[in-house]
Structure 1
Amino acid sequence: MDIRRGRLCADFISCLMVLAAVLSLSACAARPGPEVLRITEAHVPGAQTVTVYAATTRARAAGNVNVFTSGRASQPNYASFDISVPPNHQPGRIEWPEEQIDPQTSFATVGQTNLTQQGLLQQVAGSGDGRKDVVIFIHGYNYSFPEALYRLTQIKVDGNLDETPILFAWPSQAAVAGYVADKESATYSRDALTDLLAALARDSRIGTITVFAHSMGGWLTVEALRQLRLSGQDDVFNRLTVVLAAPDIDVDVFQAQMQVIGPMTPPMTVLVSSDDQALRVSNRLSRSRARIGALDITDPAVQQAARKAQLAIIDISSVEASDGLNHDRYIKLATLYANRRDEGGDTPGPGLRSTGAFVFNTVGATISSPFSIIGEALEGG
């Protein structure tokens, strides 16, 4: 027993060392801390300011300040952030501040507000005419709060999205060795995410609700969907459009979850890459259990399962990754969407709005939205 336990420990450490090595190669600076969200008064010509709303199960560092730790809050916290994106912004990138925050060259927080859930709903809905569409981003493993907040800002800007962005931030340790703790914290956050989705869905001022979840955030999202279904909240469930990017979910567990959840309209979209190195590490950590986000869609069994579950499983391996792990390809989708729209490429082609397994072609594809079903793809297999 001791020998077996020792081997398991060695495998775990080996996996983390591989992951840490790849991450270190892709990192170009020290990871940002809460200091990057310090309010900066300066505004510069050409900078774009975006308001991002946040609902989080992270604990506040102190009092009512919007500094969120990796600790778990007993009740969700809510806030809004006004974020300035610099004139020199390059699509797909977050320009982090170096020694000092300079809105001329880096992302900068120029305003923030503490909110209640009701206050968040009021601000998201606004005072104008018409219903407001929203997109909720649920981050993955090994994310800090500033990283998740600025990532959603970058996607909003690069995709020129009309949806109001809402971050759901769960208490990730933001550490390579925090995988197990992150999984537990994601599970801890199920009730809070379910409650947020219900509050938005039952507000008559809110229009479409798109849920976009990455990696371990996909696990959290599917668990919340399962909870909505089991509790009979179909009125909420039926308001949602769900996209899972590189979901870190065991294949068998996902099949069991989908048996409870059932088909969605529009179909749930799953973005996969069979060469996702982060999910290969997750596979090893879980004793060779295959992950949904790394499925090979040329496998006839995968295609058949997608049709049976009425899923849109889309291989995005041709999209450029920037993290060295092929785990963050979803970031580029927003840019591709904006570029295609600017080129007049939104006309629906033989786009596949149904279910099944597809290959995404970055050259000829038409994208209806990076947060909805990919409009045009080439059938796999």
Structure 2
Amino acid sequence: MTGQRLNEFPLGAKMMLVAIGLAMLAGCATRPSPDVLNPVHLPVHLNASLQSDEAASSRVNVLAATNRNPDTARGGFGSAWADNLTYEQYAFSVPPNRKDTAITYPTSRPDPERQFAVIQRKQLPKDAFVEEALRSTQSDGTVGIFVHGYNYSYQEALFRTAQIAADANIPGSPILFSWPSAAAVAGYVADRDAALSSRSDLDSLVTSLSASGKVKRIILFGHSMGGFLVMETVRQLKLQHRDDVIDKLAVILAAPDIDIDVFRSQLKDIGRMPIPISLLVSKDDRALVASSFIAGERARVGRLDIDDPVIREAALKERLRVIDITSIQASDGLGHDRYASLAKFGAQLASFESGRRSSAGDVGAYVFDAAGAAVASPFRLAGRVVGSQ
């Protein structure tokens, strides 16, 4: 824009900007139906290979907890809020020659050479779900939870979690928490309400896992509006005086769609966490430009400019890690899904352009150099960054 604020435009121009913004935030061109959740039957030779010890890169397991209402007619989950959480366990067949973060959904005739596919699906009672999660805890006691953003269906969030797990070769089963997004371009305000209404359910999931002494660290990774839900959940835990839970949390927010003043208020209530919050930001994130327009041109946390001395000073003061990941190529054309590409970089921490490597105690503002750096995945990012704490 040329310095004009949104409220200076006539009504027609405002509506056009909002429409453009919502379209930019949409993120998904071809939307998969709940049919992709139905397990496929693979050829005998492929099914046998997935059971072998060498099949780690061809099969991934995902646990999912959702407060969406079950869609019994279609076999998936809708956008209405359920009274209780539903817990599921999935196994995926992963195509061997996929490109970066691309997800090709199964068709009526699944092709495991080109498409992700569900090969096992099972609903679990809560106790069995927690047992599976504990069984999947990494050797250092880490478990990871992914919270998706605006305009995601259950199946889209589930396949994205599988893609991240596959590209990062994550041991065990990452956990998806799927809240009742409307999965619609025009559902931005409804999604914000749904995210707020999901705080207690995410709180319940995190608290259930933290109760085990086997769990030493819970990586709570929120993307976009999912980052808003994560922060609200941590704030709720703090107001409940659940420091025993908070002490285990490693919070990572990727492209967080959070108003900066709201974020300041959340930080004030939460206080300094034992493990510093990590923010993955990009000042050229055009989806968050649209989000800012919709909110009356209020700045979003995911577009923080680390070249600004005020931002660098605030990161140190608030004990935050603000990492600019602009150098990572996005696949959505908007610069909003860079987090999904982190998995392909390998197992080391980022080699920042400042010449420093992040360690457990580092806070402040950094630049991620994709050309010479490596961060394994959203789940391993926190595990590596805070590994010695």
Q: Determine if the TM-score, normalized by the shorter chain, exceeds 0.5.
A: yes
1:362 aligns with 2:365: no
Contact 1:133 1:162 in 2 (8 A): no
Mapped to 2, the partners of 1:216 and 1:207 lie a distance apart of: 26
Written as runs of structure 1 = structure 2, the 5 A alignment for 1:1-381 is 11-20=14-23, 27=29, 30-43=30-43, 44=46, 45=49, 48-62=58-72, 67-126=76-135, 132-162=141-171, 164-338=173-347, 350-353=356-359, 354-367=362-375, 370-371=378-379, 372-373=381-382
From the superposition, tell whether residues 253 and 77 of structure 1 become closer, same or farther in structure 2 (CA, over 3 Å).
same
Percent same amino acid among aligned pairs? 42
Secondary structure of the residue aligned to 2:237 is helix
Contact 2:247 2:275 in 1 (8 A): no
Secondary structure of the residue aligned to 2:205 is helix
Matched pairs, number: 361
From the superposition, tell whether residues 292 and 130 of structure 1 become closer, same or farther in structure 2 (CA, over 3 Å).
closer
Provide, for residues 301-350 of structure 1, a one-character-per-residue CA deviation record: whole Å limited to 9, x for no partner: 11111111100001111110010110000111111135x69xxx9xxx83
1:369, distance to aligned residue in structure 2 (A): 5.4
Contact 1:131 1:204 in 2 (8 A): no
Contact 1:170 1:189 in 2 (8 A): yes
From the superposition, tell whether residues 180 and 128 of structure 1 become closer, same or farther in structure 2 (CA, over 3 Å).
closer
- Larger CA deviation: 68-77 vs 81-90: 81-90
From the superposition, tell whether residues 248 and 128 of structure 1 become closer, same or farther in structure 2 (CA, over 3 Å).
closer
Secondary structure of the residue aligned to 1:206 is coil
Matched residue type, 1:357: A
Indicate the residue corresponding to 1:379 in structure 2: none
**RMSD of equivalent CA atoms:** 2.7
Secondary structure of the residue aligned to 1:367 is coil
Matched residue type, 2:371: V
Secondary structure of the residue aligned to 1:164 is coil
Contact 1:274 1:296 in 2 (8 A): yes
Gaps of 5+ in 1: 377-381
From the superposition, tell whether residues 370 and 72 of structure 1 become closer, same or farther in structure 2 (CA, over 3 Å).
closer
From the superposition, tell whether residues 36 and 303 of structure 1 become closer, same or farther in structure 2 (CA, over 3 Å).
same
Gaps of 5+ in 2: 1-6
